[in-house]
Amino acid sequence: MDIENTTENIHFESRLDLSELQQRVDAVRQEIKKVIVGQDKMIDKLLVAILANGHLLLEGVPGVAKTLTAKLLAKTIDMDFSRIQFTPDLMPSDILGTSVFDVKTSEFEFKKGPVFSNLILIDEINRAPAKTQAALFEVMEERQITIDGNRYTMDKPFLVIATQNPIEQEGTYRLPEAQLDRFLFKITIDYPTLDEEVLILQREHHIQNQSKEDQINSILNAEEIIRFQQLVKQVIVEENLLQYIAKIVGNTRENALLYLGASPRASIAILNAAKGFAAIAGRDFVTPEDIKEAAIPVIQHRVIISPEREMEGLTAPEIIKQILETIDIPR
């Protein structure tokens, strides 16, 4: 028997048809990259978060295109979009809505706020006071709000992209751990390299008076996003990989470098994100590399470094990398 020829005739077919999803994701990438230079991994994480139906926290200093990236992403998806600028005087009713007395009917009518949309961009989320932050809890977790005893359900898909500046302290409020835990990913945006910055300047000079957003075409719609989200849920995960995820998250709770470890919500987030990474790669099964790719953006905002180690300059991503290096990768 000719083993070599037999092997050549074997075709491993995907159990899920991810070709359309992969093509659309690649098209969205190309649209965003018309304007955004570099940041390929950040763009992939944005797309994975959407496919995993999770909220995003973008962190970076002013001027690294946090808000622009979110607006461009919204432009590639044909669905309702709202942008809310958080300020210290912002009240919960400013984002959720309020009941207004209608003189003609002598009844109160609820006027929906900007949070009633499919994709919400919250700029400088750490500038709003605790009362307004708390108003986001229910809507981010349950995709619903309760006002005056009435429950209002958000239209699907419903995703929040929030930005914050890690340096500025004046007029800001630290996000509580309970709210940070509602974000699937925290993505840190760094400065561009020298070559990337030169390309940014060249593009800026070339477009002159043209709007950056006008260069972006819509690729997806809300119905397709919902369909792709359901498809991603079906991506296969072997039992040994579930144990791998549990070991990673469990290590954060026992790690001497950390004061607070990650909760089971982090494990579920890694699972869902890993499925998303597999799907955009065209695979219907998760690999250990997908899990490792998801671990840092999922865990880094869910743990608290011990004060001694924080004073030494140790960061959460560094600790998570150490954890990943110590746990045996299943094969």
Q: Is residue 10 part of a domain?
A: no
Instruction: Compute φ and ψ for 81, nearest 5 degrees.
Output: -135, 135
Q: Is residue 271 part of a domain?
A: yes
Pair of tokens at residue 251: 């290590």
Nearest residue to 330 (alpha-carbon basis) of 301, 291, 296: 291
> Which residue, 120, 155, 190, sits at the end of a domain?
190
Rounded to two decimals, the pTM is 0.85
Here the CATH number for the domain that contains residue 277 is 1.10.8.80
Same domain as 139, residue 259: no
Between CA 93 and CA 154 the distance in angstroms is 16
Please state whether beta strands 107-112 and 97-102 pair in parallel, antiparallel, or not at all (unpaired): antiparallel
Write down the pLDDT at residue 10.
Answer: 41
Same domain as 173, residue 51: yes
Residues of the chain above pLDDT 70, percent: 93
Summarize pLDDT for 40-79 with one digit per residue, the tens: 788 889 899 999 999 999 888 777 777 888 888 888 888 8
Let me know: does 91 contact 231? Beta carbons within 8 Å.
no
Let me know: does 52 contact 184? Beta carbons within 8 Å.
yes
Summarize pLDDT for 181-231 with one digit per residue, the tens: 889 999 888 887 888 888 878 877 777 667 777 778 888 888 899 999 999
Instruction: Compute φ and ψ for 107, nearest 5 degrees.
Output: -130, 160
Query: How many separate domains does the chain show?
Result: 2
11 has pLDDT over 50: no
Same domain as 240, residue 169: no
Let me know: does 84 contact 125? Beta carbons within 8 Å.
no
The whole-angstrom distance between residue 86's C-alpha and the CA centroid of its chain comes to 19
Between CA 234 and CA 230 the distance in angstroms is 7
Write down the pLDDT at residue 8.
Answer: 45
Q: Considering Cα of 95, then 101, then 105, then 106, what sign does the dihedral take?
A: positive
Same domain as 277, residue 178: no
Confidence class for position 147, pLDDT limits 50, 70, 90: confident
Same domain as 118, residue 57: yes
Same domain as 147, residue 72: yes
Write down the pLDDT at residue 271.
Answer: 96
- In terms of Cβ atoms closer than 10 Å to its own Cβ (0-12, 13-18, 19+), residue 314 is middle
Query: What is the domain range of residue 315?
Result: 235-331
Here the CATH number for the domain that contains residue 129 is 3.40.50.300
Confidence class for position 240, pLDDT limits 50, 70, 90: very high
Nearest residue to 15 (alpha-carbon basis) of 284, 286, 287: 284
Of 26-35, 121-130, 161-170, 290-299, give the lowest mean pLDDT range: 161-170
Q: Is residue 299 part of a domain?
A: yes
Q: Is residue 163 part of a domain?
A: yes
Write down the pLDDT at residue 171.
Answer: 58
Let me know: does 153 contact 143? Beta carbons within 8 Å.
yes
- Rounded (to 5) percent helix, strand, coil in the chain: 50, 20, 35
Of 47-61, 82-96, 173-187, give the lowest mean pLDDT range: 173-187
Q: Is residue 217 part of a domain?
A: no
